[in-house]
Structure 1
């Protein structure tokens, strides 16, 4: 049965609506008659997040159609990685467009073409995207660059392309050229799975969201007072007992080694390196509760479900402590293909300074023994960072002398200032989730600072990159993660990727607003900040 048309709204005659539409209709007719491209539904090349390094618009748009093929020539290992990325893009586009979009190794100049090569000066993650009437061609020295070029292509398409049902289109990509490369090598997001446990599928969902914005590092906070989240064969009670609860007393959980491998595989397919963290010597109550011998008095404390910090510590003088660390680091290093292993080191209030320094000397040596680069919270700079160590800064002032001295001596810094990019900080006093010990952090405050100049008297060359941590004392669902991460996480990504010349709040807030419909299409529950001119607001 047909559905009868709705009556026109009161006070707005049909004729009036037609008169108002006539200019648009005439414009469309003139465009068709003249043969000029209709670019009204095309996203300008530069209106993406993160802002690209260089944009040269021009020419007709490319239109994805039923005839579009995705071409990834070559049989090398890098080419196979690029085909994985192409299949991921096709998986996004097929439901909404209704097109087959086959991925092929056959050469050709039409369709969406991925090529390895081009300007090696773009580095491992840079790319060039050329869009014309005949094709969209992405060329990059490495598969990572092709992956990031595809994320740019995805954002250049209408937001409705993200939907799981067929949409009307059209699917146009603006004509011109983007040449792009990241400012920093390390662009990270941290997820605390210790205070509240998140499943493999929940972690994958967050991975998909962060990689859309060219984030390349996932830091997993795997242990804390409230829960131990990774299986360790040589110390099995860490997971089975230490992982059996969480903040508030819920059931907790942990990743088996196969679970962890699946997270690593999924991340690697999206050019994401996983950095596992085992926090020590503090934040260790879950471990201390699991094994009495790790305590100086030989007595295991009860499991902990609160949110206080600084009360727990491994027993620094005991030899068994370092047997424990050696076993845990060895098993985690064997599982983890990435370069880094994070040993925490923050808020060790129950450990004397002398014990802390002695402990960090031994813990860092164990990480090096198993071929990994040490990462620690910036309190590590108050001890003796080993050569090549990375310190993660989470302060709020940027003036700590030990951090400055360590950076000048060669320690690289990842910046996570809590009053800027701790994603668990409340937006304002009415935010229902999160904490506020570092203040309220609205979208502009999170975005409007320069990582290259944040730590006073420190050379910008010491800055490895940025990371947005998301602590989970108050977060227990994917909706919670998304509400606190969006819209601030894309700003972290832009700080890490875009050149300083692109750093402009007014431009950014407009580009960020255009992401709102995309998040809605993806089902992301984001905070509608009044600082951002969201569409329809």
Structure 2
């Protein structure tokens, strides 16, 4: 997580095709000269890099007659409608979604017996008359749609009618992820983000096949989820934020709205209640949670490590049970994150006792626990995940502790702070963010291998990666965009693409091509000098 809180705290190989070699692939609309028809995006020139991209044949062009043909299934129709919703404004075409069979148009097919694609893989076949995306499950179909989107011109993302043409290069992509867990975390505790702001970030991360949204719902500065059995947590504990702003919290209806929106984009929401430390908002709301029975004042600063639930009190576990019970009841996903980092005001003995009592509560309500990697200093429950947030300065002993837990069966999610933390400054002049883990430019964020990163941890212990975004200095969507982009797509690629595709010099070209897309989406991203952005 974040040692930044000490002081001011701060995806088999990819076949890349030269654009010049594909100019003959483009179907030329009647009445236009070939010289004026732009070539389509070369097959496979997307993020994350696909496992296999084999170009060939003519491009497909979306036109006024194009239909989106789906299976007679709820999932396929929902994804077809989603795609139509993205493309109708910019193309100006009706793009009717139909379950009428046909060989033309954009075809979305669920093939449950095709086990080669796995649960999240897809096959995209593009030729002059059609583009067909085939997947075993809805997730794969959705990810194939994201690949299709990125093959279209950036103007396809605009909300007003654009000129086109809308070409998709010919050939076949076969693709599936390297890791099951590909996450992004948003800290809504230090600064509160509205439902609409969370939805905007969901739309952005889903374009890059991110499949977990970790919401950091509680911390010293704010409690952000309504709990009926302890109403003051949100009403009082959620009333402020860093700097003393008004804060806020999600009602249960709003939380379910976020879950539904994320689910439609194949993202599983993972709620986090950080404990036993990072609990001042809860302690301020209920005096009985404090060992001395005295509620501290609400906190709006950025220091950490000073708060702790009272481990020896029975009421603490009544509180934990109630919160996890209510959270589990409205969270359809597999996981609940219990935090566990920077519990500096909790003795080691108390920390171990607390985690030994809390993890079974998560299991009691049908969920799997995730904790920050300090959990490995206690006794991780069977099936629990540990999220490693250490970095180059992390001690060898601490890294070894995590690696040993992995050797003993604990699965890991990697979020190294000096690689994956989206709130680290790019350089000394970055107006937002922190620098406790150092400056993290785009290449550093991308150029590491999760499979070999943590010495001693078995490769098969790595469940995936996550890019956290802490919000001490961040409170607007434009701030999220500036800090997460262009770094988040790189972390997403590390989680999805085969290691054999990992090449910074090739990646940065694909990344640069995303810039016009982000412009079309109205995003405020950091134009890193390490990336050869196209000139306007």
Match of 2:294 in 1: 299
Query: What's the CA shift for 1:40?
Result: 3.6
Distance 1:206 1:34, change over 3 A: closer
Query: What SS class does the counterpart of residue 453 from structure 1 fall into?
Result: coil
Query: What's the CA shift for 1:39?
Result: 7.0
Query: What's the CA shift for 1:57?
Result: 0.1
| Structure-to-structure mapping, 1:98-113, within 5 angstroms | 98-113=92-107
Match of 1:12 in 2: none
| Structure-to-structure mapping, 1:270-285, within 5 angstroms | 270-285=265-280
1:369 and 1:302 map into 2 onto residues whose CA distance is: 33
Match of 1:15 in 2: none
2:56 and 2:390 map into 1 onto residues whose CA distance is: 45
* Larger relative contact order (Cα-Cα within 8 Å, sequence gap ≥ 6): 2
1:157 and 1:37 map into 2 onto residues whose CA distance is: 19
On the 8 A contact 2:376/2:386 being kept in 1, the answer is: yes
Distance 1:296 1:154, change over 3 A: same
Match of 2:21 in 1: none
Match of 1:405 in 2: 404
The answer to whether residue 321 in structure 2 is matched with residue 322 in structure 1 is no
Match of 1:115 in 2: 109
For 1:373-431, what per-residue CA distance to the aligned partner results, in whole angstroms no more than 9, with x for missing partners? 01000000000001000000000047511101110111000000000010000000000
Distance 1:31 1:38, change over 3 A: farther
Q: Larger C-alpha radius of gyration, 1 or 2?
A: 1
Q: Which of 352, 355, 371 is 2:350 aligned to?
A: 355
On the 8 A contact 2:335/2:368 being kept in 1, the answer is: yes
1:521 and 1:29 map into 2 onto residues whose CA distance is: 24
Unpaired runs of 5+ in structure 1?
Answer: 1-27
- RMSD in angstroms over aligned alpha carbons? 1.8
Match of 2:5 in 1: none
Query: What's the CA shift for 1:48?
Result: 0.4
The answer to whether residue 510 in structure 2 is matched with residue 515 in structure 1 is no
Q: Which of 153, 163, 169 is 1:174 aligned to?
A: 169
Query: What's the CA shift for 1:172?
Result: 0.4
Match of 2:139 in 1: 144
On the 8 A contact 2:27/2:128 being kept in 1, the answer is: no
Query: What SS class does the counterpart of residue 451 from structure 2 fall into?
Result: helix
TM-score, normalised by the number of residues in structure 2: 0.92
Match of 1:4 in 2: none
Query: What's the CA shift for 1:82?
Result: 2.0
On the 8 A contact 1:39/1:174 being kept in 2, the answer is: no
Match of 1:45 in 2: 43
Query: What's the CA shift for 1:31?
Result: 11
Distance 1:394 1:535, change over 3 A: same
On the 8 A contact 1:125/1:144 being kept in 2, the answer is: yes
On the 8 A contact 1:422/1:469 being kept in 2, the answer is: yes
| Structure-to-structure mapping, 1:104-503, within 5 angstroms | 104-117=98-111, 119-397=114-392, 399=396, 400-503=399-502
Query: What's the CA shift for 1:33?
Result: 11
Query: What SS class does the counterpart of residue 342 from structure 2 fall into?
Result: coil
Query: What's the CA shift for 1:121?
Result: 1.6
The size of the alignment, in residue pairs, is 506
Match of 1:23 in 2: none
Distance 1:437 1:296, change over 3 A: same
Unpaired runs of 5+ in structure 2?
Answer: 1-25
Match of 1:96 in 2: 90
For 1:306-362, what per-residue CA distance to the aligned partner results, in whole angstroms no more than 9, with x for missing partners? 000000000000000000000000000000000000000000000000000000000
Q: Which of 51, 55, 58 is 1:57 aligned to?
A: 55
1:36 and 1:469 map into 2 onto residues whose CA distance is: 46
1:211 and 1:268 map into 2 onto residues whose CA distance is: 10
Query: What SS class does the counterpart of residue 451 from structure 1 fall into?
Result: coil
On the 8 A contact 1:316/1:359 being kept in 2, the answer is: yes
User: Runs of 4+ in structure 1 displaced over 6 angstroms?
Assistant: 28-39
